[in-house]
A and B are shown apart, each in its own frame.
Chain A
């Protein structure tokens, strides 16, 4: 049997539902844990970051306005699509993180299951985080959680797929749209996830994936006036501080980096991190003297 020459994949960004190269024309070499060349990944520029924010903002109205049931179905669809590409991701994660095939498979399986977990959350968040409030007066008063808006997410550096899914899924489950900066050293699973998202009914712009140097892309995102929140999971302490300072300019909601076991039960912290509570009051009126007293 003759050796067939394989077809390499050109890894591209995922922005606004499309797969552009970096507008800068730059790429960088991605290697496996032993230094073997895997691919050239786009080296995103600040312009790419700004374009991604525009796409995320444009998608926000539709995504946040979709029914929670619809968002849940779409997130579940992501799990289905990822399951179908399981072998591809096992290979990519194994290369990216230097894992054995079985350990990489465990990561991919957990990432698929994480989508399922968050798919089931979309239509329960409001019942957990909201509710009526018994105010001392003739008013109906209800508090509901709403998505914060456009969230910049710095994906974890070490966990190239499970960590990535663990930070994206809760943000979009809650109705936010995201611009995610992949693991700098291991961007390929994230860029491939863009292909999964593109075939999962996730509207274009809801998730935008940028690869490159975390610090270079994160700076314009943290300072961007149309970004509402930032998850600093993939930043080291020094970068995180600088970004938090920049984020204060328009009072972004900031989720600071902390040690996380991505394999553990994710709980609800990230689900609740990028929510705003809206409270609506309305007079209840009175039926008057003729009103029923049962």
Chain B
């Protein structure tokens, strides 16, 4: 039976979005040097939320100079003082958590349930965690007195805008670097609100600079001679281009790129829990997650039972208004991303896989894609090889653990994987053989500031989170 829910919208009044925003350089908001702007829209309604500045090469230069100037004093501060700034930021994020959650949901399209219960708590926790490192760097295993790198140029994606900002800025600042960060073109607002949080925290000017803009601004930033470090989260194609850009320079590089995570379900797995894990793995954040469990590998003997249970569960997912507290699946972030997902899903059908989606009504305005699974998928299909970055699950089967491992590892990527089995020794044996940076056993999509995150192979290099995450921002 289907439950009817009354609408339960979260109030928008908690957030006040200005009609326009400038670039945040050297502690001040300013217009782009050439006055260019672009609009940011709410993907669930296509409503224009605000107009933001498009950073030019000149603006990139100004931001890098501001960060360079600030570096001298910031890096010379006692770690305990840097720590206190970061603790302040963590606290202000906690205070303004609901406002930022609503803002993020508006600009990104993801459900308020996720921004409120996952993104924002993790953002605050990340700053809190790295704040504590700032005066303990000598204990991190990188020498007695490790030095910061200098100015970090950071480019982040649109899927977890504020969380990715936190993953970049918190360890960089704790280690004594200053930063120039470019948020994604389609989700600039939370980074601009973060600039205001830096102001409230009294952070010295120039320590954090935020440049909004498209890919050209990001390209200008990573190519700038004045930066010492590039950190990028995004597509593997752009990651490779960045790696070529920094080749032959002294710039350090860390990359967190795409994935095609295998979620492996053995015949002894607790089916109901596995189904929850599969749903979480591929429909969390509309599947727009680099570590999504986008390939389901199910042991042949339980395939029918598992797929029946999965389809039943998918039929109860509520797709719609992201601000509604009951919504499970929100909007796709942009028309462009929706087109990519649509094209790849269509290729799945064209190549012979079988498509299934629950009956669900999608809103008229905005960018939407129903939760979808494909069966009869082979390893050669594009939907089994390419990152779809959407709510689309490709189902493959296996007979033996060795076959599961071989199929899971048959990918250019190596970011995440899931294992569902009640047998401890099998879980450990499979985890040992998987070539992936994060492995969730009998769980999926868990994140924590203390836990290193990052990929093998073409999913990138370097780790974010934990003690390991400091290495990317220290001269070691």
Interface string of A124-151 (1 = CB under 8 A from B): 0000100101111101010100001000
B446 and A277 contacting across the interface, CB-CB below 8 Å: no
Interface string of A206-243 (1 = CB under 8 A from B): 00000000000000000000001000000001001100
Known: A135-B451, A281-B446, A283-B442. A276 touches B456 (CB 8 A): yes
User: Contact mask B416-455 → A, CB, 8 Å, 1/0?
Assistant: 0000000000010001001011111111001010111110
**Is B19 interfacial (CB 8 A cutoff)?**
no
- Nearest B residue to A248 via CB reads B243
Closest-by-CB residue of A relative to B455 is: A276
CA distance A281 to B452 in the complex (A): 11
Closest to B239 in A: A251
- Of A237, A241, A279, the contact of B451 (CB 8 Å cutoff): A279
Using A248-B243, A278-B436 as known contacts, say yes or no to A283 and B443 having CB atoms under 8 A apart.
Answer: yes
Contacts A135-B448, A248-B244; A280 near B431 (Cβ below 8 A):
yes
Please indicate the chain B residues that have their CB under 8 angstroms from the CB of A281 in the complex.
Answer: 438-441, 443, 446, 451
Q: Say yes or no: B248 contacts A133, CB within 8 Å.
A: no
Q: How far is the CA of A163 from the CA of B437 in the complex (A)?
A: 31
Whether, in the assembled complex, A244 has its beta carbon less than 8 Å from a beta carbon of chain B, the answer is yes
Smallest beta-carbon distance A79→chain B, Å: 27
Q: Which secondary structure characterizes the binding site on chain A?
A: mixed
**A245 proximal to B (CB < 8 A):** yes
Q: Is the CB of A133 within 8 A of B247?
A: no
A243 nearest CB neighbor, chain B only? B247
A137–B240 CB distance below 8 A: no
Among B51-59, B211-219, B458-466, the one that faces the other chain is B458-466
Set of chain B residues within 8 Å of A136, measured between Cβ atoms: 125, 448, 450
* Interface presence of B205 (CB below 8 A): no
Closest A-chain residue to B257, C-beta based? A251
> A34 near B: Cβ within 8 Å?
no
In whole angstroms, how far apart are the Cα atoms of A240 and B249 in the complex?
Answer: 10
Inter-chain contact B446/A135, CB cutoff 8 Å:
yes
CB distance from A108 to the nearest CB of B (A): 30
Specify which chain B residues have a CB less than 8 angstroms from the CB of A148 in the assembled complex: 456
Q: Which of A133, A253, A282 contacts B466 (CB 8 A)?
A: A133
> Nearest Cβ in chain A — how far from B146, in angstroms?
13
User: Chain B contacts of A228 at CB under 8 A?
Assistant: 457
CB atoms of A237 and B248 under 8 A apart: yes
Judge if B468 is at the interface, Cβ distance under 8 Å.
yes
Tell me whether B451 and A143 are in contact (CB under 8 A). yes
Check: B255 CB closer than 8 A to any chain A CB.
yes
Residues of the B chain whose Cβ atoms lie less than 8 Å from the Cβ of A279: 437-439, 451-453
| B141 contacts A by Cβ under 8 Å | yes
Contact yes or no, A248 B439, CB < 8 A: no
CB distance from A121 to the nearest CB of B (A): 14
Shortest Cβ distance from B201 into chain A, in angstroms? Answer: 23
Neighbouring B residues of A248 by C-beta, 8 Å:
240-241, 243-244, 247
Residues of A within 8 A of B235 (CB): none
Q: Quick check: is B80 within 8 A (CB to CB) of the other chain?
A: no
Report yes or no: B243 in contact with A133, Cβ–Cβ below 8 A.
Answer: no
Residue of A nearest to B467 (CB): A131
Contacts of A240 in B (CB 8 A): 248
Q: List 23 A-B contacts (CB under 8 A).
A: A128-B141, A133-B452, A135-B446, A135-B451, A141-B450, A241-B248, A244-B243, A244-B247, A245-B248, A248-B243, A249-B240, A251-B255, A251-B257, A251-B458, A254-B247, A277-B454, A278-B431, A278-B438, A278-B456, A281-B443, A281-B446, A281-B451, A282-B427
Known: A251-B243, A251-B257. 13 other contacts (CB 8 A): A133-B448, A136-B125, A136-B448, A148-B456, A245-B248, A248-B241, A250-B412, A250-B457, A251-B255, A278-B437, A281-B438, A281-B451, A282-B442
